């Protein structure tokens, strides 16, 4: 056709560059917009005070505390199970039907919509186990959501541990479990930490799974046990932005909450990336 191959290459490369710039500008616009509108609302009082006057004034302290509880609860439940499952899959499992089944289950858990986890949490933890809408029910629901994340990142971390480590240890007469416990696992810790941090970010940001498992619109005091309901940052933002009669009045608080949430999640992701970078080349023999 009319175009020389050089010209069509130029056109194609310009379009590809343009597409990438468009994607990058989405990231930039969203970040800048939330930061510019939110930073005015953030102060020490905003972070440490209870909401006042139908949440049109005051801070978001109980929502921050609630989110912290969810992070602790879900990590306590998911981290040991996830790490152990990953150890089994990477160090013991052979290529057979059972392994396939476990891998398939993990993949599907990872792809299941978060609102479906919310339904399941409601049916199993809130109703069947009778935990009620509570920190416990919500934490366990979120634990299921992050389990695949932890398993995958731990497996990846174990994979990067060179086989020489295992072979040298086994050759010295150390048993398989002790080799894993004292040689392989310590070498994989940075990867496991990275995965855990990413999971914490996930827990802090998820709303749909806690809608029916214990998140409260407003509570005048902090939760006093794992059976209490709680406020959480993402749910707080959702409620202020969509429900009630004071949507316009609470706009600054909404921007502030969105920024706090964004900073927590992105801060965690940044730490995870830095840890990964730092340790990436350490294991090479």
Partner 1 sequence: MFNRNYKEKMIESVLFSVSALTVVILFLICLFLFRNSLFLFNDFSLLDFLTGRFWYPTSVNRQFGLLPLFFGSLIVTVGAILFSVPLGIASAIYISEIAHPKVADFLKPFIEILAGIPSVVFGFFGLVVLVPFVQKTFNLPTGQTALTGSIMLGIMALPTIITISEDAISSVPSTIKQGSLALGATRWQTIYKVIIPAALSGISAAVMLGVGRAIGETMTLMMITGNTAIIPSFPGGFLESVRTMTATIALEMGEVPQGSDHFYALFAVGSVLFIITFLINLIADSIKKKYRFKVD
Span 39-78, contacts to partner 1 by CB under 8 A: none
Is residue 262 near partner 1 by the rule CB under 8 A? yes
Q: Is residue 67 within 8 Å of residue 232, measured between CB atoms? A: yes
Q: Which is nearer to partner 1, 135 or 240 (CB)?
A: 240
Buried b (16+ CB within 10 A) or exposed e, 141-170: bbbbbbbbbbbbbbbbbbeebeeebbeebe
Q: Give me the torsion for CA of 37, 40, 41, 43, rounded to 10°.
A: 150
User: Residue 153's closest CA among 194, 201, 121?
Assistant: 194
Span 89-118, contacts to partner 1 by CB under 8 A:
89, 92-93, 98, 101-102, 104-118
Minimum CB separation of residue 143 from partner 1 in Å reads 10
CA dist 188 and 194 (Å) reads 10
Whose tokens are 């080799």? That residue is 179
Residue range at the interface with partner 1 (CB under 8 A); choices 2-10, 47-55, 162-170, 184-192: 2-10
Minimum CB separation of residue 156 from partner 1 in Å reads 13
User: Which of 41, 77, 79, 122 lies at the binding interface for partner 1 (CB under 8 A)?
Assistant: 122
CA dist 145 and 141 (Å) reads 7
User: Which of 65, 68, 124, 275 lies at the binding interface for partner 1 (CB under 8 A)?
Assistant: 124
Is residue 219 near partner 1 by the rule CB under 8 A? no
Q: Which is nearer to partner 1, 52 or 127 (CB)?
A: 127
């Amino acid at each position: 056709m009319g175009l020389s191959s050089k010209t069509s290459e130029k056109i194609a490369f310009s379009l590809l560059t343009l597409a990438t710039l468009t994607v990058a500008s989405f990231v930039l616009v969203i970040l800048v917009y939330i930061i510019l509108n939110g930073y005015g609302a953030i102060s020490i009082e905003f972070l440490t005070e209870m909401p006042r006057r139908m949440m049109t004034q005051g801070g978001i302290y109980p929502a921050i505390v609630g989110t912290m509880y969810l992070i602790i609860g879900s990590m306590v439940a998911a981290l040991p199970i996830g790490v152990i499952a990953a150890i089994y899959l990477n160090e013991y499992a052979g290529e057979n039907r059972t392994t396939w089944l476990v891998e398939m289950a993990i993949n599907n858990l990872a792809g299941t919509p978060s609102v479906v986890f919310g339904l399941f949490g409601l049916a199993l933890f809130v109703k069947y186990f009778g935990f009620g809408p509570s920190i416990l029910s919500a934490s366990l629901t979120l634990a299921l959501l992050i389990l695949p994340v932890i398993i995958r990142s731990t497996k990846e971390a174990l994979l990067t541990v060179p086989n020489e480590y295992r072979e040298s240890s086994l050759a010295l007469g150390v048993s398989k479990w002790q080799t894993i416990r004292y040689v392989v696992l310590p070498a994989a810790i940075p990867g496991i930490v990275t995965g855990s941090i990413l999971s914490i970010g996930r827990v802090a940001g998820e709303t749909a799974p806690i809608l029916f498992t214990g998140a409260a619109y407003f509570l005048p005091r902090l939760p006093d046990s794992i059976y209490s309901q709680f406020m959480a940052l993402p749910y707080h933002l959702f409620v202020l932005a969509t429900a009630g009669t004071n949507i316009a009045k609470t706009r600054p608080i909404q921007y502030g909450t969105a920024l706090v949430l964004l900073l927590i999640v992105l801060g965690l992701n940044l730490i995870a990336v830095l840890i990964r970078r730092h340790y990436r080349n350490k294991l090479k023999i």
